[in-house]
């Protein structure tokens, strides 16, 4: 392992999508993916909720979700390798975003953009929600937006489908921790492994999830990406999940039906610790999560926490959106990081875009507004109304 055209740091959903599309677009490109943990125990991809939605306000985010939805239709067939079929187990149970009076305007803007792009979304007033989903009788909201094609997909199937196909097409995966990016004269020269060994590469892509900031710093780049621990709680309730969409409350808590009477619930909290402590604790659930759930959805007044897990959110504190593309002051260094809460569902489109930039192919989606230039100029690209979601 001495010299490659492209070295990708991180082999999660993002790194694997980039490797897959690089080898698809340019089969003679030598591509190595460096992954420090081949078990993927702590990567965000396998700790995500696997939710997929078209309910964004930014056209780029909507189009990336549409790309994934289309890909999923034939994913198992397209990604079959040696008889192994990665079934994304898509569940189109729908996502229902509740709306308070104060956010009605931006919700309507989002709906107009989504419909303008041909997406299916439905406005339900509070009475209709209670009528259609008695378990979701609401308090304090004017209504909600239902994306009937939104839902959940299996992160394991998608990530390993892309990974195995990247390997099938000739990308090399190696188990090594990257310690630093090597640079000289304003451009990238490769990477240095934790073992001290150097690997030459004219192009390096940082896809290291919550670990990206530390790595970029070795190249003199300060990214506004903070690794924040997010806890997901699994609860047993008295509510039957049958026919229910996932529901997103105005304060940020989401409640995902998992089958029978079980739901998962989570929320970004100001108290979420920065760092990599993956030990699950149920402390704070009652005051910080359940309090909002039961205030908005009185039907959830009785439940039991049965488990949960922690994962790392690579939070882009500038605007909550992906940082995608070549760093302007360092030729050959590409970033695909800072996805906050929606990187898994967008990884196929983002991987394709990064591969298009590297190979010089005309991008099928214009994601240039997500480029790293806005980090340098300090100009955020918010989803809506300055909110980071």
Ligand X SMILES: Cc1cc2nc3c(=O)[nH]c(=O)nc-3n(C[C@H](O)[C@H](O)[C@H](O)COP(=O)(O)OP(=O)(O)OC[C@H]3O[C@@H](n4cnc5c(N)ncnc54)[C@H](O)[C@@H]3O)c2cc1C
Q: Which residues bind ligand X (CB under 6 A)?
A: 9-15, 34-37, 40, 43-45, 47-51, 177-178, 207-209, 211, 215, 230, 232, 311-313, 339, 341-345, 347
* β pairing state of 51-52 and 151-152: antiparallel
* Residue 225 and residue 368 in contact, taking contact as beta carbons nearer than 8 Å: no
Q: How far is the CB of 238 from ligand X (least distance, A)?
A: 25
What SS3 state is found at 271? coil
Helix ranges restricted to H, the chain: 13-25, 59-73, 75-78, 104-116, 126-132, 155-168, 212-217, 291-296, 343-359, 373-377
Q: How far is the CB of 113 from ligand X (least distance, A)?
A: 19
* 12 vs 143 by CB, closer to ligand X: 12
* 126 vs 253 by CB, closer to ligand X: 253
Q: How far is the CB of 143 from ligand X (least distance, A)?
A: 23
* β pairing state of 198-206 and 262-266: unpaired
* 177 vs 236 by CB, closer to ligand X: 177
**Alpha-carbon distance 306 to 5, whole Å?**
48
- Which DSSP symbol is given to 289? I
Q: Which of 98, 148, 65, 145 is nearest to 343 (CA)?
A: 65
* Residue 113 and residue 57 in contact, taking contact as beta carbons nearer than 8 Å: yes
* 17 vs 126 by CB, closer to ligand X: 17
* 146 vs 191 by CB, closer to ligand X: 191
Q: How far is the CB of 134 from ligand X (least distance, A)?
A: 26
* 48 vs 126 by CB, closer to ligand X: 48
Q: How far is the CB of 46 from ligand X (least distance, A)?
A: 7
């Amino acid at each position: 392992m001495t010299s490659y055209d492209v070295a990708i740091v991180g082999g999660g959903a993002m790194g694997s999508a980039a490797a897959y599309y690089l080898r698809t677009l340019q089969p003679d490109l030598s591509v190595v993916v460096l992954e420090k943990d081949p078990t993927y125990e702590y990567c965000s991809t396998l700790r995500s909720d696997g939710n997929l939605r078209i309910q964004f306000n930014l056209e780029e985010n909507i189009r990336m979700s549409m790309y994934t939805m289309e890909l999923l239709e034939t994913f198992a067939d397209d990604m079959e390798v040696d008889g192994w079929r990665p079934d994304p187990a898509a569940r189109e149970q729908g996502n229902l975003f509740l709306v308070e009076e104060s956010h009605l305007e931006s919700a309507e803007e989002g709906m107009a953009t989504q419909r303008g792009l041909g997406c299916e979304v439905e406005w339900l007033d509070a009475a209709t929600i209670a009528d259609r989903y008695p378990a979701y009788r609401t308090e304090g909201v004017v209504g909600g937006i239902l994306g009937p094609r939104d839902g959940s997909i299996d992160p394991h199937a998608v990530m390993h489908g892309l990974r195995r196909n990247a390997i099938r097409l000739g990308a090399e995966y190696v188990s090594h921790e990257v310690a630093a990016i090597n640079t000289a004269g304003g451009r990238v020269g490769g990477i240095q492994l934790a073992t001290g060994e150097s690997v030459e590469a004219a192009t390096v892509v940082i896809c290291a999830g919550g670990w990206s900031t530390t790595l970029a710093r070795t190249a003199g780049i300060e990214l506004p990406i903070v690794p924040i621990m997010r806890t997901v709680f699994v609860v047993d309730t008295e509510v039957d999940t049958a026919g229910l969409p996932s529901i997103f409350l105005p304060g940020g808590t989401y409640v995902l039906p998992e089958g029978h009477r079980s739901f998962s619930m989570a929320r970004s909290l100001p108290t979420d610790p920065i760092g990599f402590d993956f030990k699950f604790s149920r402390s704070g659930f009652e005051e910080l999560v359940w309090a909002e759930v039961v205030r908005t959805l009185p039907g959830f007044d009785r439940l039991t926490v049965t488990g949960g897990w922690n994962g790392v959110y690579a939070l882009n504190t500038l605007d909550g959106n992906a940082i995608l593309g070549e760093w302007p002051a360092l030729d050959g260094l590409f970033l695909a990081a800072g996805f906050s809460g929606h990187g898994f569902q967008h990884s196929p489109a983002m991987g394709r875009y990064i591969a298009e930039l590297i190979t010089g192919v005309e991008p099928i989606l214009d994601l240039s507004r997500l480029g790293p230039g806005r980090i340098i100029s300090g100009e955020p690209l918010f989803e809506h109304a300055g909110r980071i979601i």
